[in-house]
DNA sequence: TGCCTGATTGCCT
DNA sequence: GGCAATCAGGCAA
């Protein structure tokens, strides 16, 4: 993946609904290198997705959807291309992208971003003394830095203030080659802890854990 | 660098 | 009642 040249990485096309409806593992890998953009009242923040995890719904014991639909996970069962934002550990939120057709209940957790634009706004939200590397290198951190909240649960990523774009870096539109993507077990779970469903950009300094 | 722990609250096989 | 897809800070080495 190309390094950050400046704050001026050009946004390309916004990802269409069909992108999110694909198999969850494919979406989790394809999201690496894409730009998450949030236009908030205070300003725009943009981060390049460098780490994701796939959660495979009712066939995955580690997924919130494993035991079926509930009030908390309802948006996970909704149409693809919407956000699933949940509250965890009494103080943090995590941001997921809903995949597959409505009713299936699968999603991709976004675990880390490389800050691209609005870095000072991110720093203000996260605490002034933080290095760039500490702004978005974890699922709770990036939600805070991007100014997202539980209010974004269910938000449509295809239209609205929160969206994902394919950057115009080169002819590949930010797509990564297979060898640029590393795979590991998912972080912080106890069930199905051995499954290799975490994906991250190999060698990228903004990933949450090596 | 890496391990351990406290904080804090919504939700429930 | 117990646990959870986390984070930050403290301490030892």
Tokens 């494919």 locate to A26
pLDDT, tens digit (0-9, with 9 covering 90-100), for A68-107: 999 999 999 999 999 999 999 999 999 999 999 999 999 9
pLDDT at residue A197 in the model: 97
Asked if A94 CB < 7 A from strand C, the reply is: yes
Mean pLDDT of chain A: 94
* Pure H helices in chain A: 17-20, 24-30, 119-126, 139-145
**Chain A 88-107 residues whose Cβ is under 7 Å from strand B:** 89-91
Q: Are A148 and A93 spatial neighbours (Cβ–Cβ below 8 Å)?
A: yes
Q: Which nucleotide is nearest to A136 (CA to C1')?
A: C7
Pairing status of strand A181-184 against strand A35-40: unpaired
CA of A13 to C1' of C7 (A): 34
Q: For strand B, is any atom closer than 7 Å to the CB of A133?
A: no
Residue in A156, A174, A178 with CA at minimum distance from that of residue A165: A174
Residue A43, H or E segment: strand A43-55
Nearest nt (C1') from A66 Cα: B13
């Amino acid at each position: 993946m190309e390094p950050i040249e400046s704050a001026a990485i050009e946004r390309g096309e916004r990802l269409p609904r069909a992108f999110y409806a694909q198999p969850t593992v494919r979406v989790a890998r394809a999201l690496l290198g894409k730009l998450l953009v949030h236009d908030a009242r205070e300003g725009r923040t943009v981060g390049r997705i460098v780490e994701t995890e796939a959660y495979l719904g009712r066939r995955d014991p580690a997924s919130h959807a494993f035991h079926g639909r509930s009030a908390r996970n309802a948006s996970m069962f909704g149409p693809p291309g919407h956000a699933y934002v949940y509250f965890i550990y009494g103080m943090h939120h995590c941001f997921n992208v809903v995949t597959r057709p409505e009713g299936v209940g699968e999603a991709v957790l976004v675990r880390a971003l490389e800050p691209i634009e609005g870095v000072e706004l991110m720093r203000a939200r996260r605490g002034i003394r933080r290095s760039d590397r500490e702004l978005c290198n974890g699922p709770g951190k990036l939600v805070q830095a991007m100014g997202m909240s539980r209010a974004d649960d269910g938000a449509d990523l295809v239209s609205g203030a929160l969206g994902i774009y394919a950057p115009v870096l080169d002819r590949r539109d930010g797509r990564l080659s297979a060898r640029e993507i590393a795979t590991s077990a998912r972080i912080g779970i106890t069930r199905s802890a051995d499954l290799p469903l975490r994906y991250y950009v190999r060698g990228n300094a903004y990933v949450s854990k090596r």
